[in-house]
C-alpha cells in the first residue's frame, strides 16, 4: 500500500500492508478484504467437509462489480453489486451472509446507491429501474419510492443519504442534474440543481455524503465537490480537473471521517484521496494493483462510526477495509 502526504514527495510503500503514518499522529491500517460469502462463514466442520465429498462443495456467492457500501447499527456491511444485480449483506458478528435481489416481482437491474436509516431500513437506488427499493432491517421488501402513476420521477437515481433526525432522504439524479429531497415515505419535498458549471449548478452528480448538517455532492463531470445546506443553498465548492494527485479526474465514491475530512475514490489514479473540510488536499492512499491496499477502479467509499474505511475495489471484485485512527486512541501521548 502507498500513502503519500500532500506536503512532501515522500510515500510509504510495502509489499504487504503496514501502518501508514499521517501528520498529527493519524494513521491508516489495512484490515482485510471481502470478496465472497465464504469470507463471512464460519470454518466448515469435519462432517461438513465429508458431506462435500458426497454432495459436492457449496457454491458461494461472490462480488462481481461492487459499487457502493454502507453499514447499519449492527455492523452489517451492505454492498451494492450491479455486476451481480444484487445487494450483498455481510454480517461478521453473526457469521452470516444474506443477499437482496429486488422486490414485488421486480428484480434489481442496476443497484447503485445504498443507505440505511436509524431503524436499519435499507434504501437501494436502481439507476436503470428508476426506483428506490426499500427493505426493513430483516431484509423484507417494503415499497418502491419514485413511482408516480406508472411513470418514474427519477431518470437515473444514483447516490443516496438519509438524514434520520429530520426524516429526509437526499437523492442524486444523474441524468436530471438534480438533487431530490424526499420524506421517508417517498414524497418529493423539493429539489435543487440544474445543468451547468457555475457554482451551485451540477453536471452529472453521482455520490452524496453527509457532513455536520451539510450535504456533499460529487459533481462528477464538473470534477469537483459541492456542499449545500439541507435546503439546497450552496456553502462550498472545491476540486478541479487534472491527472495528478489532489485533482479529481474520475471521481467515484464520497465519504467523511470522524474529523470531518472528505474522502474521494479516484478511479483514474486508483487511489483514495483525502481533503480537509475546506477542500485542501491532505494525502492519499493506495495505488494500482491487485494486492492488499491496491486498487483497480475503486468506486464507492464508506466510513462507519468506528472510522473503518470501506472501499469498493470494483475490478478486483472485492471490498477492502482499513482503519483510520489517531494517536490518542492507541494510548499514545
Three-state DSSP string of the chain? CCEEECCCCCEECCCCCCCEEEHHHEEEEEEEEECEHHHCCCCCCHHHHHHHHHHCCCCCCECCCCCCEEECCCCCEEEEECCCCEEEEEECCCCEEEEECEECCEECCCEEEEEECCCCCEEEEECCCCEEEEECCCCCEEEEECEECCEECCCCEEEEEEECCCCEEEEEECCCCEEEEEECCCCEEEEECCECCCCCCECCEEEEEEECCEEEEEEHHHCEEEEECCCCCEEEEECCCCCCCCCCCCEEEEEECCCCCEEEEECCCCEEEEECCCCCEEEEECCECCCCCCECCEEEEEECCCCEEEEEEHHHCEEEEEEEECHHHHCCC
- Tell me the domain boundaries of the chain: 3-330
Residue 272 has pLDDT above 90, yes or no: yes
Close Cβ partners of 305 (under 8 Å, ≥ 6 residues apart): 258
Check whether domain 3-330 has CATH 2.120.10.30, yes or no: yes
Percent of the chain predicted with pLDDT > 90: 78
From CA 71, how far away is CA 42, in angstroms rounded? Answer: 21
Whole-angstrom CA distances from 135 to 27, 104, 125 are 36, 11, 12
From CA 331, how far away is CA 333, in angstroms rounded? Answer: 7
Give the pLDDT confidence score for residue 244 in this predicted structure. 87
Query: 0.85 cut: is pTM over it?
Result: yes
Q: What is the pLDDT of residues 98-131, one digit of tens each?
A: 999 998 889 999 999 999 999 999 999 999 999 9
Banded pLDDT at 326 (limits 50, 70, 90) = confident
Over range 235-251, report the average pLDDT.
Answer: 92
Q: What is the pLDDT of residues 32-83, one digit of tens each?
A: 999 999 999 866 555 555 555 565 556 789 999 999 999 999 999 999 999 9
Amino acid at each position: 500500500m502507498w500513502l503519500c502526504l500532500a506536503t512532501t514527495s515522500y510515500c510509504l510503500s510495502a509489499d504487504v500492508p503496514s501502518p501508514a503514518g499521517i501528520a498529527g499522529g493519524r494513521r491508516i491500517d489495512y484490515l482485510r478484504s471481502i470478496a465472497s460469502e465464504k469470507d463471512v462463514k464460519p470454518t466448515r466442520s469435519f462432517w461438513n467437509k465429508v458431506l462435500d465429498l458426497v454432495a459436492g462443495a457449496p457454491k458461494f456467492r461472490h462480488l462481481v462489480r461492487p459499487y457502493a457500501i454502507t453499514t447499519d447499527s449492527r455492523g452489517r456491511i451492505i454492498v451494492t453489486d450491479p455486476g451481480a444485480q444484487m445487494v450483498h449483506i455481510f454480517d461478521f458478528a453473526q457469521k452470516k451472509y444474506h443477499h437482496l435481489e429486488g422486490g414485488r416481482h421486480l428484480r434489481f437491474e442496476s443497484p447503485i446507491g445504498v443507505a440505511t436509516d436509524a431503524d436499519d431500513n435499507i434504501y437501494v437506488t436502481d439507476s436503470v429501474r428508476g426506483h428506490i427499493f426499500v427493505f426493513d432491517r430483516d431484509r423484507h421488501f417494503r415499497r418502491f419510492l419514485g413511482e408516480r402513476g406508472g411513470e418514474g420521477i427519477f431518470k437515473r437515481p444514483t447516490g443516496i443519504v438519509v438524514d434520520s433526525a429530520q426524516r429526509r432522504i437526499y437523492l442524486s439524479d444523474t441524468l436530471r442534474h438534480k438533487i431530490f429531497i424526499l420524506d421517508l415515505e417517498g414524497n418529493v419535498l423539493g429539489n435543487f440543481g440544474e445543468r451547468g458549471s457555475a457554482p451551485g449548478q451540477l453536471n452529472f452528480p453521482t455520490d452524496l455524503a453527509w457532513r455536520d448538517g451539510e450535504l456533499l455532492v460529487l459533481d462528477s463531470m464538473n470534477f469537483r465537490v459541492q456542499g449545500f445546506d439541507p435546503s439546497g443553498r450552496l456553502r462550498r465548492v472545491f476540486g478541479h480537473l487534472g491527472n495528478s494527485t489532489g485533482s479529481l479526474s474520475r471521481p467515484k465514491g464520497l465519504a467523511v471521517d470522524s474529523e470531518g475530512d472528505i474522502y474521494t475514490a479516484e478511479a483514474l489514479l486508483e487511489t483514495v484521496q483525502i481533503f480537509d473540510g475546506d477542500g485542501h488536499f491532505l494525502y492519499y492512499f493506495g495505488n494500482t494493483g491487485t494486492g492488499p491496499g491496491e486498487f483497480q477502479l475503486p468506486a464507492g467509499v464508506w466510513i462507519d462510526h468506528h472510522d473503518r474505511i470501506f472501499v469498493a475495489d470494483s475490478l478486483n471484485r472485492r471490498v477492502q477495509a482499513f482503519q483510520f485512527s489517531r494517536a490518542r486512541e492507541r494510548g499514545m501521548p
